[in-house]
Amino acid sequence: MSTMSHGTAASHGAAVCGLGTRVEPFVFATAQYESGDWDSAPMVPANVIDSIARYTTIPVRPQGVVASLSSEAIFQYPLLYLTGHLPVRFTTREAEVLRTYLARGGLLFVDDHNHDVDGAFHKTVREEIRRVAGPLVPLPNSHELYRCFFVFENGPPTTSHEMNGWGDNLVHEQLDAVLRDGRIVVLYSNKDYSSEWSFHPDNKRFLSVDNTKFAVNLVVYALTR
Amino acid sequence: MNTSPSMMSRDPVWRTVERVRRRLRGVLLLRSVLTGCACLSVITVLLWHLQVPGLAPDSAGGRVVALAGGLLAAALVARHAQRVFFDSARAALWIEEQQQPAGPSSFALVTWVEQQASRVPTLRDSVSATDTAGWLYDRANAQLARTDIAGALWRSTRRQLLGPALFASGALALVLVSRSHGIAVVVSAASRPASLVAPEVSRLLPLGVWDVHVTPPSYTGLPARTVGDVHTVRVLGGSVLRVTGDGPLPDSVSGRAVRDDSLAQRTRVAAPMQTMENGRWTLQWVAAEVPMEFRMTRGGRTRLLLLDAYADSVPAVTLDLPARDTVLRVAAGRFPLRASVRDDIGLQSARFELIVSSGEGERFTARTVMVGEQRLNGARSATLSAALDLTAMQLGPGDIVHLRAMARDAHPQSAREYGLSDTRSFRIARAAEYDSVAVEPAPPPEVDKSLLSQRMVLLLTEKLQQRRPRMVRGDVVTESSRLARDQARLRQSVGDVVFQRLSGESSAEHSHYAGDGHEHGVDLAGGKLSLSAKVTDGMVEEGNDSPVIAINQPLLEAYNAMWDAGRELEVGDPAAAIPHMKLALAALERARAASRLYLRGKPPTVIVDVAKIRMAGKDTGVVSTRRARDLVPSRDAARDARVVAAAQLVARDAEAARDSIAVLRLEVVADAPALAAALDALLQTMARGGDVTDGFVRARRVLGGVVRTEAGVWSRAVPP
């Protein structure tokens, strides 16, 4: 981990969004889709926003938004968070809009709230991702996603839900992704960050190590790559 | 003079005339040969330039045509020569014409020769005739003496052969020099086996016309077709494309995907299979599913073949019934299902797929059911019908059925994508779900921690009570007070949970009390908590199963029981504390067992105080160096520049301009169909040989987004 001072980090954070120009604050967007329980982790947005404010100087809107996948409003948001437990079936319109969103440079972060390899969400959402964006491939743990702000030497941080043996009873070594021109367009996680990060941000004070820091990397990556 | 043939052959006059005749005949034969060669060369060059299908210079047909032309020319010249010079009288006349200096001819030589040629050798002439012949002979002989026959022959030879020789040389030079020694190629190609036609030879011939033959994939059942000498051919991905032409194989063949997208980048352009047969070359590819461009070069000429390749589209599936999502109170009866499927080539099978998910909270199970599978045997469209027996599916309350129709065409690829409809879902209602409201999920560890600790405190208290008869009162009070402090700590933790759930505040026990003006959902009075009237209104009476009540009321009970237990412990009466502690433990168990519901709705509103927590984190990160991105060029500007360049090229090289436009059309057909249509119209105009100005203008208007409204009756631009 770097020993960089807060001030320097702050200036870097500002540089991320471009100094000298009017900077629109980052807005954390949760994807709403027709099928399934898209809102199963309602506290994740607040927690991620809290982490962005806590560790970076990236201007951030204090409240997340819910963006319907069938609406071109999602084009305003560089990062989309999608989760759930139930089967995911994109409508034709949702698939079209999402395909365009990814082609225009958006990043879709999909987290399996079931963290279950054979779960309905896992199977269906991977199928839908393949249909919309192409096949998912393992993302190497040396990828710049894991060092674009905080450094995660061993790849994606392990969640307590994995450690407790819930879900598929596995600790997943890596995330999967769809890469386009070397850039992540879809990031898929079986690690259940939706459970791990779904708590009131005020309760971070009880944690010896903030488990939401990886979300900062995700946002920084989406904004800068 | 009476002469026999043997005598005549020895006569010097006759011999001279015959020598002249043979010499002239040889010259004229040579003239005919030269003329034939010249014509052969000229026809060969013409065939190269005219590119007549099947008559390439190195093909059998081309050779026959060239040789026939040459022989015909030679025969005509030879026939003319025979008619003019191939008898002795004409040779004698020619000699008389060469008399120097020129003067009135006596025709003695011609007359004598005619007499000699017309006589039968065995006849004997009369005396007068002999006298005449002798006189004629002398005159003819004298005439020969006056004539420079050798010089005349040389001048005649030069005159007769110079023109044809120059003509033939020029034609041959034209073939050899300007068209890379065509005669040599014809000879070489004819004399060598086809497989031995080496590249160095093939460079000699420019690439000519070709025939394009397309064989669609066998699974489609579509017929093969020959499209002839085209520069653009629309093919289905997987089709076998065969291009054949005359002469040796092209020197170089290169291919690339025209479109600039990920699919095109992944597409590998395989080298074509090259064969030679009967003097014709053949290149064969299997077409990919993206537009491709192939350049073939031979003899300094490059031709472009554009493959407007398209993929076999997956079937289009529309789910007609059920028309919308729904919620069922009872999972019974039959559910009609209907879907429409269609495909561009042919359907193989179709069915309905159902995923039934059961469970709640974070525990879900799913099973997949296939219904109504139907074989479609290559039909282009079909209607799929089935009925879903809900009773047989044994659906329970809370189960959700996700339904969609799927169809597959006959494409043989194992990972072939199914055509999928939109998904409809129907849910079996829970009996009590209308009494539920969305609640923030509670993190279990806090409650569990309190629960374990409460059990431990209870165990310690029971042990104290067991030891109490053997202990002095002071020790009992001391130990009981310590347990009371543990109990108070646990009570405070439970209070935190209650306040957090109801009001979002972490702890409020220290400062909140009944009537303090704050609305927390609970009232604190006499050390005990109770739900405020506002929270319980309309809920408790309905069966105590509201999530708010189900989770928080047991916690309130636990809190209050802990309060009572703590009071008893503080006064040193563990026996009295134990029932309260057991009540608290039971209440915590109930709180733990309370179901947590995930219902769709508006998520809890949390507004992060960004200014307050800005850079308050203890950890620091580093923004790694960001790669500079290339500026994205204006795609439309680049395309416009290409259209303009092609327009400027039309006057100089129409074929190159056509190729440029054709390549551009293939590139844009995926993302700019309007421009592709405009360019297609332009290409058709080019093929017709019409005025392309309007086509270029229209293409540029499409690029620039210029919309011209049609002239109406009120338009001043339109004459009435």
Supply the angle between the helices B182-191 and B60-85 in degrees, to the nearest 10.
110
Smallest Cβ distance to B619: which of A1, A35, A147? Answer: A1
Q: Which candidate, B255, B313, B232, places its Cα nearest to that of B679?
A: B232
Report the first-to-last Cα separation within chain A, whole angstroms. 21
Contact A37 B598 (CB under 8 A): yes
Assess whether the previous peptide bond of B579 is cis (omega < 30° from 0).
no
Q: Which of B214-228, B321-335, B563-577 has the lowest mean pLDDT?
A: B321-335
Q: Which of B357, B416, B597, B608 to mutate to test the interface with A (most CBs of A within 10 A)?
A: B608
Q: Considering only alpha carbons, which residue of chain B is nearest residue A216?
A: B621
Q: Considering only alpha carbons, which residue of chain B is nearest residue A1?
A: B621
Give the residue, B86 or B458, on which the prediction is more confident: B458
Each residue's pLDDT tens digit, A136-173: 999 999 999 999 999 999 899 988 777 665 556 667 88
A50 to chain B, any CB pair closer than 8 A? The answer is yes
Contact B425 A42 (CB under 8 A): no
Q: Which of A176-190, B10-24, B103-117, B225-239 has the lowest mean pLDDT?
A: B103-117
Q: What is the pLDDT of residue A168?
A: 61
Residue contacts between A and B (CB atoms, under 8 Å): 155
In a domain, A17, yes or no: no
Give the residue, B632 or B10, on which the prediction is more confident: B10
Average pLDDT, chain B: 76
Contact A141, A174 (CB under 8 A): yes
pLDDT interval class at B717 (50, 70, 90): very low
In a domain, A1, yes or no: no
Q: Considering only alpha carbons, which residue of chain B is nearest residue A100?
A: B671
Q: Is B592 exposed, middle or buried (0-12, 13-18, 19+ CB in 10 A)?
A: middle
In a domain, A106, yes or no: yes
Q: Which of B2-6, B251-255, B542-546, B665-669 has the lowest mean pLDDT?
A: B542-546
Smallest Cβ distance to B366: which of A38, A42, A87? Answer: A87
Q: What is the pLDDT of residue B1?
A: 45
A40 to chain B, any CB pair closer than 8 A? The answer is yes
Q: What is the pLDDT of residue A19?
A: 45
In a domain, A220, yes or no: yes
Q: How far apart are CA B646 and CA A125, in angstroms?
A: 47
Give the residue, A48 or B540, on which the prediction is more confident: A48
Q: What is the pLDDT of residue B714?
A: 47
Q: What is the pLDDT of residue B543?
A: 38
Q: What is the pLDDT of residue B161?
A: 83
Q: Which of A166-180, B218-232, B392-406, B498-512 has the lowest mean pLDDT?
A: B498-512
Residue found under tokens 């392990």 = A158
Q: What is the pLDDT of residue B199?
A: 42
Contact B619 A150 (CB under 8 A): yes
Smallest Cβ distance to B619: which of A55, A60, A203? Answer: A55
Query: Beta partners for B407?
Result: B350, B419
Contact B353, B403 (CB under 8 A): yes
**Is the pLDDT confidence value at B169 over 90?**
no
Q: How far apart are CA A43 and CA B233, in angstroms?
A: 56
Q: What is the pLDDT of residue B102?
A: 54
Contact B620 A53 (CB under 8 A): no
Q: What is the pLDDT of residue A29?
A: 95
Q: Which of B317, B613, B625 to mutate to test the interface with A (most CBs of A within 10 A)?
A: B613
CATH number of the structural domain spanning residue A176: 3.40.50.12140
A75 to chain B, any CB pair closer than 8 A? The answer is no
Q: Which domains does chain B have, with CATH numbers?
A: 5-187 (no CATH), 195-310 (2.60.40), 316-435 (2.60.40.10), 444-593 (1.20.120), 635-704 (no CATH)
Q: Give how many domains chain A has, as a whole number.
A: 1
A195 to chain B, any CB pair closer than 8 A? The answer is yes
Smallest Cβ distance to A6: which of B506, B615, B624? Answer: B615
In a domain, A38, yes or no: yes
In a domain, A115, yes or no: yes
pLDDT interval class at B46 (50, 70, 90): confident
Q: Which of A64-73, B125-134, B680-689, B692-701 has the lowest mean pLDDT?
A: B125-134
Q: Which of B15-19, B81-85, B281-285, B485-489 has the lowest mean pLDDT?
A: B81-85
Smallest Cβ distance to B606: which of A43, A54, A60? Answer: A43
Contact A131 B417 (CB under 8 A): yes
Residue found under tokens 């300094």 = B300
In a domain, A196, yes or no: yes
| Percent of residues in chain A assigned helix, strand, coil, to nearest 5 | 35, 15, 45
Smallest Cβ distance to A213: which of B420, B619, B626? Answer: B619
Give the residue, B129 or B479, on which the prediction is more confident: B479
pLDDT interval class at B575 (50, 70, 90): very high
Smallest Cβ distance to B623: which of A12, A66, A87? Answer: A12
Q: What is the pLDDT of residue B481?
A: 92
The minimum CA-CA distance between B633 and chain A, rounded to whole Å, is: 15
Question: What average pLDDT does the segment A187-204 reach?
Answer: 87
Question: What average pLDDT does the segment B475-491 reach?
Answer: 90
pLDDT interval class at B480 (50, 70, 90): very high
The minimum CA-CA distance between A181 and chain B, rounded to whole Å, is: 8
**Is the pLDDT confidence value at B249 over 90?**
no
pLDDT interval class at B719 (50, 70, 90): very low
Residue B679 CA from chain centroid, whole number: 18
B710-718 contacts at long range (C-beta below 8 A, 24 or more positions apart): none
Q: What is the pLDDT of residue A26?
A: 94
What is the residue range of A119's domain? 6-12+24-224
A16 to chain B, any CB pair closer than 8 A? The answer is yes
Smallest Cβ distance to A42: which of B604, B621, B627? Answer: B604
The minimum CA-CA distance between B666 and chain A, rounded to whole Å, is: 20
Contact B609 A54 (CB under 8 A): no
Q: What is the pLDDT of residue A225?
A: 79
Complex ipTM tops 0.95: no
B604 vs A contacts (CB less than 8 Å)? 42-43
Question: What average pLDDT does the segment A84-108 reach?
Answer: 89
The minimum CA-CA distance between A45 and chain B, rounded to whole Å, is: 9
User: Which DSSP string corresponds to B218-264?
Assistant: GGGTPPPEEEES-SEEEEETT-EEEEEEESSPPSEEEEEE-S-SHHH
Q: What is the pLDDT of residue B7?
A: 55
Each residue's pLDDT tens digit, B178-222: 555 433 333 333 333 333 333 444 445 778 888 899 999 988 888
B441 vs A contacts (CB less than 8 Å)? 198
The minimum CA-CA distance between A173 and chain B, rounded to whole Å, is: 22
Question: What average pLDDT does the segment B236-262 reach?
Answer: 82
**Is the pLDDT confidence value at A64 over 50?**
yes
**Is the pLDDT confidence value at B424 over 70?**
yes
Contact B621 A56 (CB under 8 A): yes
Q: Which of B599, B609, B623, B630 to mutate to test the interface with A (most CBs of A within 10 A)?
A: B623
In A85-124, the residues whose Cβ lies within 8 Å of chain B are: 85-87, 89, 91-92, 113-114, 119-120, 123-124
Each residue's pLDDT tens digit, B428-452: 888 766 545 544 444 444 444 444 5
Q: What is the pLDDT of residue B266?
A: 60
The minimum CA-CA distance between B451 and chain A, rounded to whole Å, is: 19
Q: Which of B624, B629, B630, B632 to mutate to test the interface with A (most CBs of A within 10 A)?
A: B624
Smallest Cβ distance to A63: which of B420, B607, B616? Answer: B607
Q: Which candidate, B82, B52, B9, B42, places its Cα nearest to that of B175?
A: B42
Q: How far apart are CA B601 and CA A38, in angstroms?
A: 10
A17 vs B contacts (CB less than 8 Å)? none
pLDDT interval class at B427 (50, 70, 90): confident
Contact B443 A213 (CB under 8 A): no
A5 vs B contacts (CB less than 8 Å)? 620
**Is the pLDDT confidence value at B711 over 50?**
no
In a domain, A19, yes or no: no
User: Which DSSP string corresponds to B511-564?
Assistant: T--TTSS---SEEEETTEEEE-HHHHTTTGGGTS-SHHHHHHHHHHHHHHHHHH
Q: What is the pLDDT of residue B194?
A: 35
Question: In whole angstroms, how far apart are CA B478 and each of A54, B460, B473, B485, B569?
Answer: 46, 13, 9, 11, 10
Contact B621 A4 (CB under 8 A): yes
**Is the pLDDT confidence value at B247 over 90?**
no
If phi > 0 it is left, if psi is from -120 to 50 it is alpha, else beta; for residue A36 that is left
Q: How far apart are CA A204 and CA B233, in angstroms?
A: 64
pLDDT > 90: percent of chain B: 14
Q: Which of B606, B607, B618, B635 to mutate to test the interface with A (most CBs of A within 10 A)?
A: B606
Confidence (pTM): 0.46
Average pLDDT, chain A: 83
The minimum CA-CA distance between B584 and chain A, rounded to whole Å, is: 25
Q: Which candidate, B325, B507, B346, places its Cα nearest to that of B402?
A: B325
Question: What average pLDDT does the segment B690-694 reach?
Answer: 88
pLDDT > 70: percent of chain A: 85
Q: How far apart are CA B713 and CA B711, in angstroms?
A: 7
